[in-house]
Amino acid sequence: MLKKVKQRFSRLLGGNNKTQKLVRRDIPRDEHNVSRTSISDPAKKVLHRLNKAGFEAYLVGGGVRDILLDGKPKDFDVATSATPEEVHALFRNSRLIGRRFRIVHVLFGREVIEVTTFRGNATDNTDDSASDQRKTSEHGLLLRDNVYGSMEEDALRRDFTINALYYCIRDFTVIDFAGGVDDLNNRQLRLIGDPETRYREDPVRMLRAIRFAAKLDFAIEPATEAPIRELAPLLTHIPAARLFDEVLKLFTAGHGEATYDLLQRYDLLAPLFPDTVRALNAGEPDELIRQALRNTDARIRQGKSVTPYFLFAAMLWPALQAEWRKRQDQGEPIQPALHQAIAKVIGRQIQATSIPKRFSGPMKEIWELQMRLPRRQGKRALTTMEHPRFRAAYDFLLVRENAGEVEPGLGQWWTEFQATDERGRERMLSQLGNSGPKPKRRRRRPPGNRTA
Ligand code: ATP
Ligand code: MG
């Protein structure tokens, strides 16, 4: 009981962080760069229809933040005084989702506008129906947050000050409750309220801090930064499926390598990829991860797609190498050792982040094909090339080659083999020497022993 009272008290203190100015500031149209042309038609439609129906409605979050920074928003979020049911009733093309946070998705072709109802602060509220709608675990983890409130309360429940800026399409003002505009100008990320409390409520906010810091090239303000390392292990309480989604967001925002560095710096990689971190600490190199992330970043810049299974194949590669080698050292033959290692690494990873089957299958195939790619004699190369995952495995091979992991020239060989015609292929295969010795099954050695 006393514990509960204490927690409640500390939450209240957190909510009233004295160092934080909570003064509403309205920035008129001629003092900011958010124009209607920078907002998508679907987002405008949602705002107008909600307003017309008598509700308050604002653009909020990344949509406002990214336009203010002269960037192009990834998507648009709307905050409104309408309840989820009221929003749903207004838009035939909408669906209610979520339990922890009930929100409405309004669908326009491929574009989804996420509409949330202003959230209130149930800690000030002792009535039972409210506490039923806002639940925290004994660690302070927010399990449910469906208490509705005013726009100002809504601003204070958001994560970073730069994410709590509202754009009003009626008078074109930007409304700032938490000093977000100043923080945008100073290029810094600052949590609203007491950082430790806010991270305990939702440890994923630590990952969001890293994601925005890398994406926007912002500094994390000292008080926001301070508790991260100590609280990083709290991420292990987050459902694995949510962490899988967050990992994808972290590494597909176009700044994967910077994100990776920050995750390491703040001890946040371990809760996401425990086996990888263990392998790296034991001396496994991470050059392949870096190369893969650099590749991913380049692909995103070129507007190309990035597949989750390729990303996970790279992130778990050091863990796989360590496990595979351990098994070979224990006397298991190379091929079964690989299969066992794959099963083990995936089995453990899904406890941390989950990997949906549609991704773990192809990831396995990419790994397995790495053993087949050096073996090209006879019909092998042609058979390998017909494998549905050949292309991804070949890309992976190129990344490994860039990371200095495979015999130089193997990637180039495959590049030429794909480009040439039938006669060219025959020639390439005959140059390999059909009757020559089989490729050596080389055992992998720890990086330190490579030159020995
Ligand atoms: P982007 O969409 O570019 O990744 P975003 O800031 O819009 O960035 P979303 O995940 O779309 O991020 O969330 C929209 C808004 O909802 C955020 O800007 C923030 O105000 C609020 N929000 C999202 N997640 C949290 C969270 N875990 N805690 C508090 N507020 C959050
Ligand atoms: Mg968004």
**263/249 Cα distance (integer angstroms):** 13
Burial letters for 205-234: b for 16+ Cβ neighbours within 10 Å, e otherwise?
Answer: bbbbbbbbbbbbebebbeebbebbeebbeb
**Which range marks the domain in which residue 58 is found?**
3-199
Pocket test for ligand 1, best of 159, 177, 191 (most atoms within 8 A of CB): 159
Whether the per-residue pLDDT at 451 is higher than 50: the answer is no
Q: Is 163 in the pocket of ligand 1 (CB under 6 A)?
A: yes
> Which residue CA neighbors atom 4 of ligand 1 most closely?
62
Same-domain check for residues 188 and 319: no
Q: Which of 145, 165, 199 is the last residue of a domain?
A: 199
> Which residue CA neighbors atom 25 of ligand 1 most closely?
159
**Is the pTM for the entire model greater than 0.85?**
yes
Q: Is 198 in the pocket of ligand 1 (CB under 6 A)?
A: no
Q: What is the pLDDT of residue 444?
A: 53
- Asked if 412 and 397 touch (Cβ cutoff 8 Å), the reply is no
In a domain, residue 249? The reply is no
Same-domain check for residues 278 and 135: no
Ligand 1 centre from 137 Cα, in Å? 22
> Which residue CA neighbors atom 7 of ligand 1 most closely?
62
Same-domain check for residues 410 and 312: yes
Q: What is the pLDDT of residue 8?
A: 37
Residue 421's CATH number: 1.10.3090.10
In a domain, residue 228? The reply is no
Tell me what the mean pLDDT of segment 269-279 comes to.
98
Whether the per-residue pLDDT at 363 is higher than 60: the answer is yes
C-alpha pair distances (Å), 411 with each of 37, 170, 177, 261: 46, 58, 55, 28
- Asked if 387 and 369 touch (Cβ cutoff 8 Å), the reply is yes
Using only the alpha carbons of the chain, give its radius of gyration: 26
Q: What is the pLDDT of residue 407?
A: 87
Q: What is the pLDDT of residue 130?
A: 52
**281/324 Cα distance (integer angstroms):** 16
Catalytic residues: 75, 77, 159
Q: Is 332 in the pocket of ligand 1 (CB under 6 A)?
A: no
Ligand 1 atom having least distance to the Cα of 201? 28
Same-domain check for residues 188 and 290: no
Q: What is the pLDDT of residue 168?
A: 98
C-alpha pair distances (Å), 247 with each of 3, 253, 257, 268: 34, 10, 13, 11
Q: What is the pLDDT of residue 291?
A: 97
What is the number of domains present in the chain? Answer: 2
Ligand 2 centre from 324 Cα, in Å? 40
